[in-house]
Structure 1
Amino acid sequence: MADLTVPLIVVAVLIVLAWLGMYLGWRARGRRQGALPAPPAVPVDLGPASLTAEVAYVATTLAEKPLERVVARGLGIRGKATVAVHPEGIVLAIRGTDPVFLAAERIESAGTGTFAIDRVVERDGLAVITWRLGDTLVDSYLRPLTGSAKQAIIAAARSLTPASVTSDTDIPERNDPSGIS
């Protein structure tokens, strides 16, 4: 037993250092993104939802940088969520956080994606909504819990965008995993 004490202490110290490094990195990223504004509060007078779907919220990243997670303002936590599309915009209610409102005029495009952060799925398995958080363009990645919900979410989000957004090729970087350099 005594011959295992030193290796156990070394392993315990390494585990504590790894957790400390992750914690400090998360806090530093949050500070760097501190200038990002909070998404607007969900309006109380929203029109009826044209679509409500349960999804797995994967991440929100800086646009065209699917490995740069946005952790500020409650967008950094992965979890189950509800997406509701209203005439005024999209309400993204991630369990355990305050709902996020993506105003219709802030939504730039919608399409599909294959990967974000540490989640890789089948080709085009994620719904991606590109929107403006203040002056910063971001992508929110959603994994619908049912097969038909992905296209319904994309179509409903596109109905809120300018008419020029019509195809999945509007977001090519999100569709091609070979695009990571």
Structure 2
Amino acid sequence: QMTNWGAHYLDIAQWGNGADDTGPVEIDGKGEFPPKGLFNTADRVDIKYTYANGVLLHLTTSGGHTRFEGTAGWVDVTRGRIKAGPESLLKVKIKPNEIHLYKSRDHKQNFLDCIKSRKQPVADAEIGHRSASVCHLGNISMLLGRPVKWDPKKEKFINDAAADQMIGRPMRAPWRL
């Protein structure tokens, strides 16, 4: 489920961290895998992603939500719901000189509108790629059973041939890159 539901929560976390065009620099994943023969992905995960800006993202299989914690409290979001502690955080007005984010209540319609207008959609190809990459990085760390270091600019592991081999697989002829 990492690259299924994981992508939905991790893209929100990436967005909230201002990391839509980058990724973590260190990944430490633990997972519980089913008995051999069923499937080869973890059904329970506990992954810590560290970003160059010092942010720690902690992904677990519990809850189905994305939570941001800061010095003034926390905000917790999931599909169609937002909570905060203290609740007064939900009433704070964003000032004109503060960051205002792209609003889209319907991603499919937003995509179609952007085809016509040539504007960037709320979730463009780079955002989708980076969100999926974070999922794959967590899977690779879990499968190796150890932390890995990642260069989000080069999109390569740092001094880790075993991890690099897990990024792709040989292509079938006549296909090649």
Sort the TM-score into its range (normalised by shorter chain): under 0.3
Given the two structures, how large is their TM-score scaled by the length of structure 2?
Answer: 0.24
Given the two structures, how large is their TM-score scaled by the length of structure 1?
Answer: 0.24
Question: Which structure has greater strand proportion?
Answer: 1
Q: Indicate the structure whose relative CO is greater, using CA pairs within 8 Å and at least 6 residues apart.
A: 2
